[in-house]
Amino acid sequence: MLLPDSQYVTKTRASANFGERPQDKIPDLIILHYTGMTSGPAALDWLCNPESGVSCHYFIDEDGTIIQLVAEEMRAWHAGKGGWRGEADINSTSIGIEIVNPGHEFGYREFPSRQIDAVIKLCLDCGSRLTIPQRNVLAHSDVAPLRKEDPGEKFPWQQLYQAGIGNWVEPEVVSSGICYRSGDSGVPVRELQTMLASYGYHVEITSHFDELTQACIAAFQRHFRPGRVDGIADKSTIETLHRLLDALPLSPPLEAADQG
């Protein structure tokens, strides 16, 4: 029987898709996703279908309902292949939260306020109980930039940050000027890759602006400079990344607030 781990869980619906966490792994990341399907019920059914091979710990509907599918102590199957700060097995070190939204393929739209309120309550609660650093609340696209776009550029990261979740800096205004893009190489590209890796992105330091570097830049833009997502390291993107790194060291564990 699946019992709620969070006081904010409205109901449970057990998914068959999970496994044991390795004994040497503890959840120190929260990964936020959008469901990317035509409807919330279809997404919930898929996450609980043994044939899908996917799941999450928590599912947040557009009306703010929070459903738990997998116990936090277990390893849900939500992140897939990726990496963050040298860790390649993201599923073993994370809590996965699926947020109902049709996504880019089926009519990407703004996230309702009730839904975001629920995301904030749940992240604060999980982060406090599990001692997850504030900076370790990430987008699926952050840890799997070559494969994923979610929760996307419409997700209100600034609002979460103001509530004590994740990181945010005021993005530099988009303007003209020097930029780096696919095919470029040299010391400036190496410095850019080093900055991305310093924050946590799983990018190789090659001095070549390759496909992975482009994907990491696009993921960074979705999260921190959503005004333009094109995978090009323009002045605005680079300055915003500098601001983020200058804010280090970052983030004590999330502190739960009495959200009612």
Mind telling me the catalytic residues?
98
Q: What is the DSSP letter of 257?
A: -
Of 12, 106, 115, the C-alpha closest to 62 is 115
What's the rounded Cα separation, in Å, for the pair 203 and 141? 13
What's the rounded Cα separation, in Å, for the pair 181 and 102? 30
SS3 32: strand
What's the rounded Cα separation, in Å, for the pair 252 and 87? 20
Handedness of CA 84, 65, 111, 162 (dihedral sign): negative
- Measured from the Cβ of residue 236, the count of other Cβ atoms closer than 10 Å reads 21
Pairing of strands 58-60, 66-68: antiparallel
